[in-house]
Amino acid sequence: MKKVLVVGELNVDIILNNIDGFPEIGKEILAEQMTVTLGSSSAIFASNLCSLGADVTFLGKIGQDQFGELIEDTLQKKGVKTDSLIKSKAYATGSTIVLNYDLDRANITFPGAMEHLNAQEVEDGIFAEVEHLHVSSIFMQPALKSGILDLFKRAKSCGLTTSLDPQWDPSEQWDLNLQEVLPYIDIFLPNRAELLNLTKTSTIEDGIDSITDVANIIAVKDGAEGSYLINKGKTEWLPAFLNKNVADAIGAGDSFDAGFIFQYIQDKPLIECLKFANLTGAINTTESGGTKAFENKDRIMEIAQTRFSYSI
């Protein structure tokens, strides 16, 4: 199994559930439940990938504060290697307030230290210790985004396989040059909305067609509608594993990524990677937050069997 380096954003999630309506200026509403937990797409991916059994190292930037300590401690308890975390004196650790409404949510993020991580801080020496590089949430990290092409080029020149989940662009500018960067990305992992916005198209088919000449493998997440695998001009679709009692969908896409990459770094057939990704995305929705359902491998296997009749 290949060792994985995750380069990405780190923040704490403050999740509010059972909210009495929607916020309005000048008014106050109540939430019945609050959870403070490890947040960020990259951290959820790394944590759940490690719980599945992978060897994972994280490189990201946090502040020297209580939120930073919570993040580092939580990653370590999950088994993620944190020696490469960069602890900033100048910037506070990022945080996100999550207003959770059934399967959807509204987020407010203070980026803090995460938006100051740059590609030059990912030195070539660390590539000698791993075999796969994963990057998430590129639009939340402008300093990293400006050097993303160089980062992936250097990783490929060092013999690594690579993956990218672009995530949502808060500015909605979607200024990522896919024609330039996709040749250096082995697995591209957008969801439907991200694919359509990045390619400025209106259907998954058109979005895929617009990048197949430069992309390698594409796995598109489409929520309860399933997912798509595109490789060498061939498109395959698999249905989702449906959970009738969803706790929330926070981190489901990141857990999908973790399932796909877990199989991929073991050289499993791509369609098996996609099926397992659908499963881990569904497992995520059985507990609140992005990591609770991925307590350990035994717990993951239990949920897969009892909730989805799937044996790992």
Q: What is the mean pLDDT of the chain?
A: 95
Tell me what pLDDT residue 229 has: 98
Q: Which three-class secondary structure state does DSSP give residue 51? A: helix
Residue 110's CB is within 10 A of a number of other CB atoms, namely: 15
Q: Tokens in use for 39?
A: 């947040």
Rounded Cα distance between 179 and 70, Å, is 38
Tell whether the model's pLDDT for residue 103 goes beyond 80: no
Q: What is the dihedral of CA 123, 109, 47, 119, to 10 degrees?
A: -10
pLDDT above 70 coverage of the chain, percent = 100
Which strands sit side by side in the sheet containing 31-39, from one edge to the other?
A: 31-39, 11-19, 94-101, 104-110
Answer whether residue 196 shows pLDDT above 80.
yes
Q: What is the mean pLDDT of residues 48-53?
A: 97
Per-residue confidence (pLDDT) for residue 249, from 0 to 100 = 84
Task: Report d(CA 161, CA 157) in Å as an integer.
Answer: 10
Answer yes or no: is pLDDT of 39 > 90: no
290 confidence band (pLDDT: 50, 70, 90):
confident
Helix axis angle, 270-284 to 41-52, nearest 10°? 110
pLDDT for res 139: 96
Q: Return the number of other C-beta atoms located less than 10 Å from residue 103's C-beta.
A: 12
pLDDT at 35: 86
Burial level of 310, CB count in 10 A (0-12/13-18/19+)? Answer: middle
Domains identified in the chain and CATH numbers = 4-8+41-93+115-308 (3.40.1190.20)
- Tokens 């001009």 — which residue? 233
pLDDT band per the 50, 70, 90 thresholds, residue 37: confident
pLDDT tens for residues 104-138?
A: 788 899 999 999 999 999 999 999 999 999 999 99
* pLDDT of amino acid 147: 97
Q: How far apart are CA 265 and CA 4, in angstroms?
A: 8
| Model pTM score | 0.92
pLDDT band (50, 70, 90) for residue 29: very high
Compute CA 142 distance to the chain's CA centroid, rounded to the nearest angstrom: 17
Q: What are 173-187's pLDDT values in tens digits?
A: 999 999 999 999 999
Mean pLDDT for 10-19 is 92
pLDDT attached to residue 253 = 96
Q: What is the pLDDT of residue 134?
A: 98
In the chain, the DSSP E strands lie at: 4-7, 11-19, 31-39, 56-59, 61-63, 86-88, 94-101, 104-110, 132-136, 161-165, 187-188, 217-221, 227-231, 234-238
With a CB cutoff of 8 Å and minimum separation 6, the contacts of 25 are: none
The 8 Å CB, 24+ separation contacts for 236-242 are 236/271, 236/274, 238/271, 238/274, 238/275, 238/278, 239/278, 240/278, 240/281, 240/282, 241/278, 241/279, 241/281, 241/282, 241/308, 241/310, 242/282
Structure-token match 């946090």, residue found: 62
Q: Which residue has the tokens 């290697």?
A: 81
Question: What phi and psi, each to the nearest 5 degrees, are found at residue 170?
Answer: -60, -30
d(C-alpha 81, C-alpha 162), whole Å: 19
Q: What is the pLDDT of residue 86?
A: 98
Q: Note the pLDDT tens digit of each residue in 215-273.
A: 999 999 999 999 999 998 899 999 999 998 888 888 999 999 999 999 999 999 999 99
